[in-house]
Amino acid sequence: MSKAKTTPVGRIVPRLLLALLLAGVAAMALFGAIAAEREHLSFEMWCLDMRQHSPVRCDARRSDDVKDYERYRASVEKFDRQRSEQKARDQALQDRLNRDPGAARR
């Protein structure tokens, strides 16, 4: 019995599929990290990453830095509320515009 020969295309396709699968997993991880980062930052992350203060200053938690952080948090929470309200309004409008004509009118 002779061995079945594998064509170059036959060897490339499984590798290509694996590469695409891995790229998809990496993309999902990246988008998950971005989404997690959009959540509220801790004081330490805000101080070190956004304000780029030294670790010593961030560990000291100066009162003016804490006040700035609280203003930042309040603005993020306000933005989140406004975005959520806008999404609800958009969805309500979308529901009204795409109403099923066979359904009972509201």
Place of tokens 């309040």: 74
Instruction: Tell me the mean pLDDT in the region 54-80.
Output: 96
Are 46 and 20 in contact by the 8 Å Cβ rule? The answer is no
Say whether pLDDT at 3 is over 70: no
Q: Helix (H) and strand (E) counts for the chain? A: 4, 0
What is the value of pTM for the model shown? Answer: 0.53
Burial level of 48, CB count in 10 A (0-12/13-18/19+)?
middle
Say whether pLDDT at 8 is over 90: no
What pLDDT does 36 receive? 45
What pLDDT does 15 receive? 72
Confidence of residue 33 (pLDDT cuts 50, 70, 90): very low
Ordered by start, the domain boundaries in the chain are: 7-39, 40-98
Q: Whose CA is closest to 50, among 77, 25, 68?
A: 68
Mean pLDDT, the chain, integer:
81
